[in-house]
Each structure stands twice: as structure tokens, then as C-alpha cells.
Structure 1
Amino acid sequence: MEIRKVSINDIDKLKEIGNRTFIETYASVNCEENMAEYLENPFSTQYLKT
């Protein structure tokens, strides 16, 4: 395994990992609407670029 800083080229992969781990962790204790709303913001491409 290689650990390195992410770059702008890694945004899509970072977004995928963030979405997947958030869903796996919190889907069982959250409603679908809350999950969708949360995933739109902190894991959006624009947010991750900043």
C-alpha cells in the first residue's frame, strides 16, 4: 500500500471513497433523505477541491 497526499487528479476517487465509507457507516442509523443531503455537500467535487 502506498500512502500519499491527494492531488486534484484524485478527486473522483476521494469522492467515491468518502461516499462509500459514509454510507457503510451511517446508513443503518439515518433516513434516506438525510443521507442524500449530506452526501451532496461535503463529498461534492467542488467542496473537495477547496
Structure 2
Amino acid sequence: MSEHLQKLIDASRGREMSDAEKEAQRQSFAYGNAHIENSRVTRAMVAEAAEKLAKAK
């Protein structure tokens, strides 16, 4: 592993993600898993579903 990469990894330890970053990660994960099962699933569809879920709370 390069020294530069190790510094980036070390810097990221202990860093808390913002709510927006967490939501982006959640949607990315959902898209990745859904797209594997159905190639017609788009990021826009995942974002729309997330928005509907957020409004339902």
C-alpha cells in the first residue's frame, strides 16, 4: 500500500459522516443491489423511492 493511500485511510478513521453522506451511501448501496437483480433499475428510481420513504416518516 502506498504511503499516500495509508495517510488517506488514517485521516478517514474516526471521521463522522454527515446525514447527507449517509443518505448518499444508503442510496448507492440500494441501487447497487437492486441493479444486480434488475438492470432496469436506475439511480433516479432509487432516489424517488427514498424521497417517498422520507415523506412517509
TM-score bucket (shorter structure): 0.3 to 0.5
Larger Rg over CA atoms: 2
User: TM-score normalised to the size of structure 2?
Assistant: 0.42
TM-score, normalised via structure 1 length: 0.44
